[in-house]
Structure 1
Amino acid sequence: MSFNALSKKINMDTVRAIHKLDEATLAKKVARDAELEKIIKGEDQRILLIIGPCSADNEDAVLEYTHRLADLQKEVVDKVFLVPRVYTNKPRTNGDGYKGMLHQPSPTGEVNLISGIVNVRKLHKRVITETGLTTADEMLYPENLEFVEDLLSYIAVGARSVEDQQHRFVASGINQPTGMKNPTSGNLSVLFNSLHAAQQKQEFIYNGAEVESSSNLLAHVILRGGLNDHNENVPNYHYEDLLKVVSTYEKGNYQNPFVVVDTNHDNSGKQYMEQIRIVKETLANRQYHPALKKVVRGFMIESYLEDGRQNPGETVFGKSITDPCLGWEKTAELVRYVAANA
């Protein structure tokens, strides 16, 4: 094996001391985390919206977006619980392209993961401290989770990671609600196998030590659609799809059944405007069937300040540089629609 060390061994205590929450802000986060736990457990029937940019590529734009989101949260607080996506790691299918703030503090700058860790913590802390909202990020690299876990309220395991045993086992030791996405194939058996693994105690090696996880009873499924053998999108948010997922929950020994519908990715074919229709269709299906209303209570929506995505070389403030997103005006209108039709 050949690896060239680019830094000294990272001390986790030192990392956690960087951009640590003060006592007052931590208390607010703990209170928000308790609300979110009640939503996942079904004790609070509000709709969960994990919403924000495809990638948190620009600190100023993300802060502008989350400040607006915080104002909107006050307006819809009785019906909707908003958790901003502050995604600082981005999966790359072939390894090329922008891999997120952790790798590149600036999308046009050099790779520097040590600076990236500092910037990631700074961004999550600023969102929490300045807006009062607590954040979601993706666990793309299980061994990196400890760099930021103390600042997160929600964690997602992506479609390309959910089949990996290390991701499943690490998810079983996470205290926060953890959404397990269906794999790119859309296979529900794989999805529920991952959920089962996350909801059990596991023994494994983690960051150089033998550990036993606690089990994560707040782990749940995220439906993001899939691709068939012809590389065609196969959505899984329709009425029959949701009934199948709810039925699988009921037949298995799963705790806290909860479904999040990812409105972009293979459900929309990355046609960002389709997210509006997908949310509205799902809300209508919830009204039609009581089991769906009880279990399908979350959406993941890709949204930013400006509609769409920008091409390389453009510098549009608050416009996605990865997957296309809904702009702010459409986002605010959609969130209000969810609140009115929950």
Structure 2
Amino acid sequence: MQRLQDLRVSNIVRLTSPRTLKDKLPVTEQAADTVVRGRTEVEDILTGKDSRLLVIVGPCSIHDIDAAMEYARRLKELREKLRGDLCIVMRVYFEKPRTTIGWKGFINDPHLDGSFDIEHGLYYARKLLLDINALGLPAATEFLDPFTPQYVSDLVSWAAIGARTIESQTHRQMASGLSMPVGFKNSTDGRLQVAIDAIRSAMHPHSFLGIDQDGHSSVITTTGNPYGHMVLRGGTQRPNYDENNIADAERRLEKARLPKKLLVDCSHANSGKKHERQSKVWESIIRQRVNGTQSIIGVMIESNLFCGNQPFPDNPSKLTYGVSITDACISWEETERMLSGGAMLLKKVAAGTEA
């Protein structure tokens, strides 16, 4: 018989099942409390019960566990300091979608050497999420591979579906079953309708192929996710965070009979991929909130211990500590300054001491 399958597959390695990994790294009561509290806070912001501004902030991608934990400890202190005006959730991204090729993130290649030790990546991704939640700091991530949520979603308070996967039926189905609020980005070319379609699709029940907690192929049936919302990240050669674009997004959501709730990404096309421009987007969002734009419920900021980025390494041991290896980020000092200044202005307006 001629060979009919796996003609272009060089290797297949069986992974630990989600249940086995969770048995090795079980959720503690403290971590569970953080996850539930984080999800509730985001849901309350989306429904208008909580008037604070949601801030998803952290590294573009996780590649160094020690640096991520140092960042998390600092962010936890800032979250407590500014909790009256901002709801801060740490951006903890392990999967990186690529337009063509490139490093696909910590879960896919945790050693940064092309060894693709996914078993190691899943273990330490889950452990990091446990440790961050143990601090009392909720976590946010983007889900790319549809199997990943089975391993780590119980430790995530906010999730994103990215601009490169927003039109994927697989990701819309997955989002319909996620246990946390989900932000849907507009497409890389700036189209909003694909995000609206994704939100509407994910609100409804779906049945699709997936894996269960034991790693067996299964039919997954969902009830739909009522907490989908749009994330504005700009498009090809055009940002979309200004007043006119916000008003256009509001009209489109209203026409689709969806809640007028928007989260603005300060990075990516909105900053022209220039990390120093994120502060300009942040200042615009704070100004619009001060002027009464209630549809903007949150922002996303790419931030790290130190500013900028560095090339993907030929030798991982030569990496500079606390500097991104993907998109350039603002520094911790700039992050603290931006968030503290914005919170102070929001507090003054809430108190009626500034027009």
TM-score range, shorter chain: over 0.9
What letter corresponds to residue 255 of structure 2 in structure 1?
A: K
Q: 3-state SS of the aligned residue for 2:148?
A: helix
Residues 31 and 155 in structure 2, CA contact (< 8 A), matched pair in contact too:
no
Deviation at 1:211, TM superposition (A): 3.0
Identity of aligned residues (%): 33
Residues 260 and 298 in structure 1, CA contact (< 8 A), matched pair in contact too:
yes
Distance in 2 (CA, whole Å) between partners of 1:268 and 1:27 is 35
Q: Which residue of 1 aligns with 2:295?
A: 295
Alignment of 1:244 onto 2:248 = yes
Correspondence for 2:339 among 307, 316, 335: 335
Distance in 2 (CA, whole Å) between partners of 1:270 and 1:139 is 22
Residues 104 and 113 in structure 1, CA contact (< 8 A), matched pair in contact too:
yes
Correspondence for 1:55 among 56, 61, 80: 61
What aligned pairs does 1:112-191 form with structure 2 within 5 A after superposition? 112-129=117-134, 131-191=135-195
Deviation at 1:202, TM superposition (A): 2.0
Deviation at 1:326, TM superposition (A): 0.2
Q: Deviations over 1:74-105 (max 9, x none)?
A: 1101000111111011112212x221110122
Residues 49 and 81 in structure 1, CA contact (< 8 A), matched pair in contact too:
yes
Q: Which residue of 2 aligns with 1:209?
A: 218
TM-score, length of structure 2 as denominator length: 0.89
Residues 18 and 121 in structure 1, CA contact (< 8 A), matched pair in contact too:
no
Correspondence for 1:260 among 263, 277, 283: 263
Q: Which residue of 1 aligns with 2:79?
A: 73
Deviation at 1:8, TM superposition (A): 2.5
Q: Which residue of 2 aligns with 1:220?
A: 229
Q: 3-state SS of the aligned residue for 1:234?
A: coil
Correspondence for 2:31 among 21, 25, 28: 25
What letter corresponds to residue 175 of structure 2 in structure 1?
A: A
TM-score, length of structure 1 as denominator length: 0.92
Q: 3-state SS of the aligned residue for 1:162?
A: coil
Alignment of 1:273 onto 2:276 = yes
- In angstroms, what is the RMSD of aligned CA positions? 1.6
- With over 3 angstroms needed to count, the CA separation of the structure-2 counterparts of 1:69 and 1:236, relative to structure 1, is same
Distance in 1 (CA, whole Å) between partners of 2:200 and 2:282 is 27
Q: 3-state SS of the aligned residue for 1:142?
A: coil
Following TM superposition, the consecutive aligned residue runs of length 4 or more in structure 1 with deviations greater than 6 angstroms are none
Q: Which runs of 5+ in 1 are unaligned?
A: 228-232
Deviation at 1:204, TM superposition (A): 2.5
Alignment of 1:40 onto 2:46 = yes
Distance in 1 (CA, whole Å) between partners of 2:43 and 2:244 is 28
Deviation at 1:25, TM superposition (A): 2.9
Residues 133 and 139 in structure 2, CA contact (< 8 A), matched pair in contact too:
yes
Q: 3-state SS of the aligned residue for 1:283?
A: helix
Residues 45 and 52 in structure 2, CA contact (< 8 A), matched pair in contact too:
yes
Give the number of aligned pairs: 331
What aligned pairs does 1:96-111 form with structure 2 within 5 A after superposition? 97-108=102-113, 110-111=115-116
Q: 3-state SS of the aligned residue for 1:13?
A: helix
